[in-house]
Structure 1
Amino acid sequence: MTPEVVMDIFADAFFLTMLMVLVIVGPSLVVGLIVSMFQAATQINEQTLSFLPRLIMTIATIMMAGPWLITRFMDLFDRLFNNIPYLIG
C-alpha cells in the first residue's frame, strides 16, 4: 500500500465526514441564526427559545437525510472492504 492510496482513502473518509456534519448541522445553524435575530429584535433573552427549534430541525434533518447518509457511508465501506486484497497485495 503506497502513501498515495492511504491519502486517497483518508480523503474519501474525511470528505464523507464533512458532508455528514454539514448536512446534519447546517440546517440547525440556519434556524439558530433566524431565532437569534428574532430574539435580538424582540429583546427576549430566553435560552430555551433557541434550543427547541434547533433540536427539532436537527431531528427532522436526520430523519429526512439519514437514509441517504447511511447509503453513502455503506458505499464507502463496501468499497474499502472489497478492495482489501488489492490494497494489501
Structure 2
Amino acid sequence: MTSDLHEGPLTPVSRPAPPPKLTRREERRRRRKRRRRGEEILAWILVPVIILGIYWGVSAGFELLGTSPGQVWDQLMQVKTMMEKRS
C-alpha cells in the first residue's frame, strides 16, 4: 500500500537563524521599559480608585456625624470671626 505513493526522500527544513543574544544593557533597558509601562498602567487604575475611596470616606464621615461640608465650613467661619473679635 505504501509502495503506491512513490514518495521520495524528505528534504531538510531550513530553520531561520535564532535572533542574536541581547547584551546585558539591552536586557536591562527592556526590563525597565516593561516595568515603567506596567507602573503607568497600574497608576491609571489605582489613582482614580484612591481618589474615589477618599471621597467616599469623607462623605461617609460627614453622614456618620450628621452634618455636611457646607455646615462645617459655616461653623469654621463663625469660629474665625469669634477669634478675630477676641484680638
Q: TM-score range by the shorter chain?
A: 0.3 to 0.5
Per chain length, whose mean CA-contact separation is higher, i.e. which structure has more relative contact order (CA < 8 Å, sep 6+)? Answer: 1
TM-score by length of 2: 0.38
**Structure with the largest fraction of helix:** 1
TM-score by length of 1: 0.37
Asked which structure has the greater CA Rg, the reply is 2
